Amino acid sequence: MVCYQNYFYLPSYNSSIFHTCSFILNSKAINMSFARYKKKIEEGDTIILYLGYENMHAVTMKRGQTFQTKYGAMRHADVIGMDYGSKVQCPKGYLYVLQPTPDLWTQNLPHRTQILYATDISIVTMQLDLKPGSVVVESGTGSGSLSHSIIRTIAPTGHLHTFEFHQQRAEKAREEFWEHGLKEYVTVAHRDVCQDGFDLENIADAVFLDLPRPWEAMSSAKTAMKVTGGRLCSFSPCIEQVQRSCEYLRDLGFEEVTTMECLLRNFDVRTVNLPIVDMGPTGHPSKEDTSQNTDLKQEVTEQTTSQVKKLKSGNRDSTSQRELKNVPPCFDLIGKKESESFFFKTGITPTNMPGHTGFLTFATLYPS
Amino acid sequence: MASDTSAAGSIPDNLSTQHIIKEGDQVILKKGKNIKVFQIKKRRQVWLEKAKFTLDGTIGHPYGTTFEVKNGKMIKVEKSILPEKEALAEGGKDNRDLLDQDSNQKLTRDDIEKMKKDGIKGKEIIDQLIENSSTFQSKTVFAQAKWIKKKKIKHLLEFTILKPSARLLCEMHHTKNPSRICFMRVDSLAQILSRGNVRAHSTVAVVDTCMGLVVGAVMERLGGFGKVIHFHQGITPVRPAMDSFDFPAEILNNLYSYPLDRVNSIESDQTKPDISSGTKSSNGAACVEKSPGEISSQSFTEKLEDVSTPSQETGEDTSAQGDTAKSVDMSTPSQETTSNVENTEDGADDINSQEIPGCSENMEIEEEDKPVKTDMEQRKRKGIDRETNRQLREQKIQEARDVILEKNIDCLIVACKFHPTPIVLALLKYVAPSRPIVVFGQYKEPILDCYEYLRKDGGMVNYRVSEAWLREYQVMEMRTHPVISMSGGGGYLLTATTVAKSDTPK
């Protein structure tokens, strides 16, 4: 039978190169709320308090502690033992307790660095062909935003080797993975891969680089990749970095070098009430009167008429006739038209949105 | 398997069999942006890029190897160490003296065709074209590079053989038949999987009329751990895109199927209402039970033929069974999808007409030359009494039903051509609290509608309606800019997180 993927990966690195695990998590309970779905909240779990859209907090449960929300204090002890997804009544309002997903974690994690957000993370995961069993090399670890998503996708049979040149950050990340019950899927190393390389050979299905000078790590990244080939991704905010990275990748024998950018546009669903202008009774030939209308109303009129046209074309009945007779409003998919206004639901785009995060460069290494 | 080691002698020792191209494998042939899936069968002719050739030459080589078509055969291409650094030393200053004339190229079309027939390599043809071009030398260095690149796309018949993956299959269908996967762009699929938190050890419900592409992508992410329930249209699920993934049995074992036209009766469904339709199906190919293990060994085209039969029967069912009508009525009122029955048939025709001329021939060959892997099993199955098949199918549906009724689904994904609101409202109660749901749609309005209904219905938080935007870049020395053409839209997404049911204000 064809074996679909490498289920049994045994780390074959030389452990001495890794920063030794110096800290001990003494009495801290290790929660599994990240590793698998579970029903009840236990002490030690990191949970997400949902107060409203983009108003969330990640809190680790510990008896005796309270957490202050805008709805008042919430005692951890009251929440422990509850089902995930429950509604919690606070003095001045209610909130929901959610189980963290890598997505929610990305929205709520403590920032130690600039992080990768959900949109880019999803592209990276897909474009690197990640799945359970994949072995991934990542640098730098940063705040562990992408790392959590990688682990989610490659567990339980894959492994993430993540490298961070900032010692405290590396330790903090390691501590977090431990606390989140992800220890067995990840190896955190404190190391400057640009200077010292990854010191890994033929183990990786995919490599992710988020470095100021990614090209300095590319040759070593190539060595880290499996002989059967793999995918590489480099995330860079600046086009000059991309330019140089692509050159290096091609020189190293990587193929299918592709650079892309992905943005997410959110829609706010609203009901809009657009006034319909009074253009006076019909039959008056004076065109000059209308052209004198130079205020804002003019603009609205144009919009409205185009909307009405849309409505008309979409409706079998003549809307204008109904309007004249002042018959009850008609409905259709686009909106609801009354004598003085046009109501419709629409997805409104934000006036401001992130216009750029970084360029994602992907490349394939084929078996030589 | 015995055949693995026989063919090419150049396999490195440390490659395991899964990385070697074998007969019976579903493989991707990739030439730039052109991607197509084929099943490797000895002596079978395939048509691609106006060429007819066999894939026999690829057997025994590792995945990721590039081959050139020569005399109807696939020959491995030895890659030079420094590939694209061409000898582009000399070039003109600008194009002021270049005239667009047919006489610029001395070689005629017939000359080129003749060279191809004589089995001259694509690279040599391009060299000939350069030699016989009166303007090439006076082009700028960049223009020369662009010219060569264009000629390569046209004349080089080089294909890289890859293992199918969600990424490649989505790209392929999005380029070739976007309407059949609801215009789902690869970044949208990526979002669905991430936002749905699809991972090992979870139970995922997928409403998929995208040829099983989403089901396949989810199964890839589960890697054999967890369960997938495919809510499908018609009596038997048709998922050619999923079959291309070539999943082994242990992964397919986690796949359950449940017909959409029985969703309304999930709770009461003890009486097996399928009996009437089961008897009906005994006249067509659809009665061949597609148990997961079996389906993968069939070929793409073969299955597409089946598509029309079960969908017609769906139509018949509508008259026979009252509650089926609902699902039929749900079809999106667009020109492309007037009624789901018609649509499926159109789609099947679509593919068939898009298949290049050799298609029917391929299928004939296939008839004689059965797949090797699960061939015996399949033949045996075909022989099994139809009644047994029907019962087997019914048993599978009941298994799926049991999973659904546990009300512990970890993720609900709706990616279909139907209006999503009734589907989401019907299935939401089977999703556990604090879990993501993802609704994908080609059009914005139904997604907004679904959002409004769910807001009213309550029981969820963290709603978001979004659309992704994807732009590619050409990155070259002094020539970096966004790629000229880009996709205008890759679909809309609604995501939300479920909360405990007792809190549902209803």
Please report residues of A whose CB lies closer than 8 A to that of B28: none
User: Chain-wide mean pLDDT for chain B?
Assistant: 77
Residues 6+ apart with CB under 8 A from A318: A312
What's the pLDDT tens digit per position in A148-168?
999 999 999 999 999 999 999
CB contact under 8 A, B499 and A242: no
- Asked if residue B242 and residue B138 are part of one domain, the reply reads no
Nearest Cα of chain A lies from the Cα of B403 at a distance, in angstroms, of: 16
Residue of A nearest to B77 (CA): A368
What per-residue confidence (pLDDT) applies to B199? 95
What's the pLDDT tens digit per position in B136-169?
888 888 888 888 888 888 888 889 999 999 999 9
Please report residues of A whose CB lies closer than 8 A to that of B292: none
Q: How far apart are the C-alpha atoms of A9 and A15, rounded to whole Å?
A: 16
- Asked if residue B220 and residue B82 are part of one domain, the reply reads no
- CATH 3.10.330.20 domain residues, chain A: 40-100
Which of A126, A152, A367 faces B62 most closely, judged by CB atoms? A367
Which of B463, B466, B472 faces A258 most closely, judged by CB atoms? B472
What's the pLDDT tens digit per position in B91-115?
777 777 778 887 888 888 888 888 8
Q: For the residues B483-505, what does the mean pLDDT come to?
A: 85
- CATH 3.40.50.150 domain residues, chain A: 105-264+357-365
Is residue B272 scored above 90 in pLDDT?
Answer: no
Question: What amino acid is encoded at B71 in this protein?
Answer: N
Residue B184's SS3 state is coil
CB contact under 8 A, B222 and A132: yes
- Asked if residue B137 and residue B32 are part of one domain, the reply reads yes
Interface test with B, best of A34, A203, A269 (most B CBs within 10 A): A269
Nearest Cα of chain A lies from the Cα of B49 at a distance, in angstroms, of: 19
H/E stretch holding B30? strand B26-31
Q: Is A153 on the interface with B (CB under 8 A)?
A: yes
The least confident of A331-335, A361-365, B24-28, B31-35 is: A331-335
Asked which of B130, B148, B163 is the last residue of a domain, the reply is B163
Please report residues of B whose CB lies closer than 8 A to that of A257: 475
- Asked if residue B430 and residue B462 are part of one domain, the reply reads yes
Please report, for residues A265, B125, B170, B175, B458, the alpha-carbon distance to residue B493 in angstroms, rounded to integers and kept in the order given: 10, 48, 17, 20, 19
A289 is in an annotated binding site: no
What's the pLDDT tens digit per position in A5-61?
333 333 434 333 344 333 434 444 456 688 889 999 999 999 999 999 889 999 999
Interface test with A, best of B475, B481, B483, B492 (most A CBs within 10 A): B475
CB contact under 8 A, A263 and B468: yes
Q: Between vectors from CA A128 to CA A125 and to CA A131, what angle results, nearest 5°?
A: 65
For residue B211, the Cα-to-chain-centroid distance in whole angstroms is 7
CB contact under 8 A, B466 and A264: yes
DSSP tag of B368: H
Split at pLDDT 50, 70, 90, the class of B426 is very high
Please report residues of A whose CB lies closer than 8 A to that of B165: 129
Backbone angles phi, psi at A142, to 5 degrees: 60, -125
- Asked if residue B170 and residue B141 are part of one domain, the reply reads no
Q: Please, what's the b/e burial string for B432-460 (b: 16 or more CB within 10 A of its CB; e: otherwise)?
A: bbbbbbbbbbbbbebbbbbbeebeeeebb
Domain A40-100 -> CATH class: alpha beta
CATH of residue B255's domain is 3.40.50.150
Output the furthest CA–CA distance in chain B (Å, rounded): 82
Q: Half-sphere exposure (CA, 13 Å, Cβ side) for A344?
A: 19
Pairing of strands B26-31, B158-162: antiparallel
Question: What amino acid is encoded at B171 in this protein?
Answer: E
CB contact under 8 A, B500 and A1: no
Considering the domain boundaries, does residue B361 fall inside one? no
> 53-72 in A: which are within 8 Å (CB) of B?
53
Asked which of B137, B163, B189 is the last residue of a domain, the reply is B163
| Whole-prediction pTM | 0.79
For residue A74, the Cα-to-chain-centroid distance in whole angstroms is 28
Which of A122, A129, A133 faces B194 most closely, judged by CB atoms? A122
CATH of residue B72's domain is 3.10.330.20
Which of A101, A202, A265 faces B469 most closely, judged by CB atoms? A265
Q: Is A165 on the interface with B (CB under 8 A)?
A: no
Please report residues of A whose CB lies closer than 8 A to that of B193: 122, 125-126
Considering the domain boundaries, does residue B445 fall inside one? yes
A164 is in an annotated binding site: yes
Asked which of B163, B185, B216 is the last residue of a domain, the reply is B163
Please report residues of B whose CB lies closer than 8 A to that of A40: none
Inter-residue long-range contacts of A183-186, CB under 8 Å, 24+ positions, other chains counted: A183/A30, A185/A151, A185/A154, A185/A155, A185/A156, A185/A158, A185/A159, A185/A160, A186/A147, A186/A151, A186/A159, A186/A160, A186/A161, A186/A162
Segments in chain A forming alpha helices (H): 76-79, 102-108, 118-127, 145-154, 167-179, 193-196, 215-224, 239-251, 287-292, 296-314, 319-325
CB contact under 8 A, B500 and A83: yes
Q: How far apart are the C-alpha atoms of B373 and B249, rounded to whole Å?
A: 12
- Asked if residue B31 and residue B176 are part of one domain, the reply reads no
A286 is in an annotated binding site: no
What per-residue confidence (pLDDT) applies to A284? 57
What per-residue confidence (pLDDT) applies to B381? 58
> 275-304 in A: which are within 8 Å (CB) of B?
none
Calculate the CA dihedral of residues B412, B414, B420, B424 and round it to 10 degrees: -10
Q: For the residues B208-218, what does the mean pLDDT come to?
A: 96
Look-up: residue for tokens 């996708």? A153
Please report residues of A whose CB lies closer than 8 A to that of B476: 246
- Asked if residue B144 and residue B29 are part of one domain, the reply reads yes
What's the pLDDT tens digit per position in B381-392?
566 678 888 888
Is residue B450 scored above 80 in pLDDT?
Answer: yes
**What total number of domains does chain B contain?**
2
Taking one residue from A and the other from B, the number of pairs with CB-CB distance under 8 angstroms is 215
- Asked if residue B148 and residue B58 are part of one domain, the reply reads yes
Nearest Cα of chain A lies from the Cα of B72 at a distance, in angstroms, of: 24
Residues 6+ apart with CB under 8 A from B182: B209, B210, B415, B416, B417, B440, B441, B442, B491
Which of A103, A157, A250 faces B197 most closely, judged by CB atoms? A103
- Asked if residue B468 and residue B404 are part of one domain, the reply reads yes
Nearest Cα of chain A lies from the Cα of B416 at a distance, in angstroms, of: 20
Split at pLDDT 50, 70, 90, the class of B216 is very high
Interface test with A, best of B434, B477, B483, B485 (most A CBs within 10 A): B434
Considering the domain boundaries, does residue B64 fall inside one? yes
> 316-335 in A: which are within 8 Å (CB) of B?
333
Q: How far apart are the C-alpha atoms of A26 and A40, rounded to whole Å?
A: 24
Is residue B400 scored above 80 in pLDDT?
Answer: yes
- Asked if residue B190 and residue B156 are part of one domain, the reply reads no
Percentages helix, strand, coil for chain A, rounded to the nearest 5?
30, 30, 40
Considering the domain boundaries, does residue B39 fall inside one? yes
- Asked if residue B176 and residue B78 are part of one domain, the reply reads no
Question: What amino acid is encoded at B297 in this protein?
Answer: S
Structure tokens at B329: 């009525």
Considering the domain boundaries, does residue B107 fall inside one? yes
CB contact under 8 A, A4 and B224: yes
- Asked if residue B154 and residue B181 are part of one domain, the reply reads no
Question: Which of the residues in chain A have pLDDT under 50?
Answer: 1-29, 289-324, 327-329
Q: Which of A195-209, B32-46, B311-325, B347-361 is the most confident on average?
A: A195-209
Structure tokens at B493: 């997404």
DSSP A229-276: -EEEEEEESSHHHHHHHHHHHHHTT-EEEEEEEEEEEEEEEEEEEEEP
Q: In chain A, pLDDT over 90 holds for what percent of residues?
A: 68
Nearest Cα of chain A lies from the Cα of B446 at a distance, in angstroms, of: 9
Asked if the interface predicted TM-score (ipTM) of this complex is over 0.90, the answer is: no
Which of A260, A261, A269 faces B452 most closely, judged by CB atoms? A269
Structure tokens at B407: 């009300």
What per-residue confidence (pLDDT) applies to A293? 44
CB contact under 8 A, A267 and B466: yes
What per-residue confidence (pLDDT) applies to A31? 61
Q: Is the dihedral of CA B285, B290, B295, B300 positive or negative?
A: positive
A320 is in an annotated binding site: no
What per-residue confidence (pLDDT) applies to B384? 60
Residues A105-264+357-365: name the CATH superfamily. Vaccinia Virus protein VP39 (3.40.50.150)
H/E stretch holding B299? none
What per-residue confidence (pLDDT) applies to B123? 79
Q: In chain B, pLDDT over 90 holds for what percent of residues?
A: 47
Nearest Cα of chain B lies from the Cα of A143 at a distance, in angstroms, of: 19
Domain boundaries, position B35:
17-94+102-163
Q: For the residues B460-483, what does the mean pLDDT come to?
A: 94
What per-residue confidence (pLDDT) applies to B409? 96
A145 is in an annotated binding site: yes
CB contact under 8 A, A133 and B14: no
Considering the domain boundaries, does residue B350 fall inside one? no
For residue B13, the Cα-to-chain-centroid distance in whole angstroms is 32
Q: Is A122 on the interface with B (CB under 8 A)?
A: yes
Cis peptide before B482 (omega within 30 of 0): no
Segments in B121-212 forming alpha helices (H): 122-131, 141-155, 166-176, 186-195
Q: How far apart are the C-alpha atoms of A349 and B495, rounded to whole Å?
A: 16
Q: Is A129 on the interface with B (CB under 8 A)?
A: yes
